[in-house]
Amino acid sequence: MIKAVIFDFGNVLYELDFDLFYKNFSDLLKIDVSPGFPEKLQRSIVAYERGKINTETFIWNFQHYTEGEIDALDVIKAWNSLLKGFPQNRWEFLKQWGQKYKLYLLSNINELHLSKIYQHMKTEHGQIDFETKYFDAVFYSHLIGRSKPDIDIYQYVEEGLGLKGEEIFFVDDRMDNIIAAQERGWSAVCHDPGKDIVDLFKDYIEPHLQ
């Protein structure tokens, strides 16, 4: 029996623009990062998402990756260009489904992105407490020291919620995250970020209610 619905944040509820993100960093670093960041920077990104390094260190790693120094504000601007926005229709969607299930967020996220999201939610939507208003709890990687798809983050969530895997329904946009959740016994669906979760969620969850 499904007792909890857990959403990934980026590319499920909050829209992201990876094309712009990679373009901005390719221009900034003078290398093509669209296939992926160099290993040194990728390690820094993962460490930052897990809260293992602070924002200042993260920015410094990008500033000094190349021989010439890069302005810290340019790093922040490129980093935050990933964040596209939160469609207005998703508030009502969360409100409606929140009347049927407990809703949670499980996101690989970081301090810079979360700060920018808070700013966007306040200025564009007048939402200053969306995490408590629409969700029963949130699990952010940089605050809990774990990230998807490592199996320990799913165990951490189960223990935090006091639920078994079969009582959880999970939506994420990455198949590796979905596979890891399914290994813990979660019901899970991989969402296509090119489509609106509002239109598809009922079709996602209904087969798992049988």
Q: Which of 167, 87, 170, 171 is nearest to 127 (CA)?
A: 87
Task: Give the model's pLDDT for residue 149.
Answer: 98
End residue of a domain, out of 63, 80, 97: 80
End residue of a domain, out of 34, 49, 80: 80
Could you tell me whether strands 15-16 and 83-85 are parallel, antiparallel, or unpaired per DSSP bridges? antiparallel
Distance CA 22, CA 37 (A): 9
E strand spans, the chain: 4-7, 15-16, 83-85, 102-107, 137-140, 168-172, 187-190
Per-residue pLDDT band for 145 (boundaries 50, 70, 90) equals very high
Domain that holds residue 173: 4-16+85-209
Residue 184 structure tokens: 């813990």
Asked whether the beta carbons of 188 and 176 are under 8 A apart, the reply is no
End residue of a domain, out of 26, 47, 80: 80
As a residue count, the chain comes to: 210
In this structure, which amino acid lies at residue 197?
I
Residue range 91-97: mean pLDDT, rounded: 98
Task: Give the model's pLDDT for residue 66.
Answer: 83
198 and 98 in one domain? Answer: yes
91 and 63 in one domain? Answer: no
What is the percent of the chain with per-residue pLDDT over 90, rounded to a whole number? 97
132 class by beta-carbon count within 10 Å (0-12 exposed, 13-18 middle, 19+ buried): exposed
Integer-rounded Cα Rg, in Å, for the chain is: 18
Predicted TM-score (pTM) above 0.75: yes
Could you count the other beta carbons within 10 Å of the beta carbon of residue 71? 11
Q: Based on the structure, what is the number of domains in the chain?
A: 2
What is the percent of the chain with per-residue pLDDT over 70, rounded to a whole number? 100
94 and 37 in one domain? Answer: no
**Nearest-5° Cα angle at 40, 114 to 21:** 45
32 class by beta-carbon count within 10 Å (0-12 exposed, 13-18 middle, 19+ buried): exposed
Task: Give the model's pLDDT for residue 96.
Answer: 98
Task: Give the model's pLDDT for residue 69.
Answer: 83
Task: Give the model's pLDDT for residue 117.
Answer: 98
Burial 6-24 (b: 16+ CB within 10 A, else e): bbbbbbbbbbbeeeebbbb
DSSP letter at 84 equals E
177 and 147 in one domain? Answer: yes
92 and 66 in one domain? Answer: no
182 and 113 in one domain? Answer: yes
pLDDT value at 121 more than 70: yes
pLDDT value at 210 more than 70: no
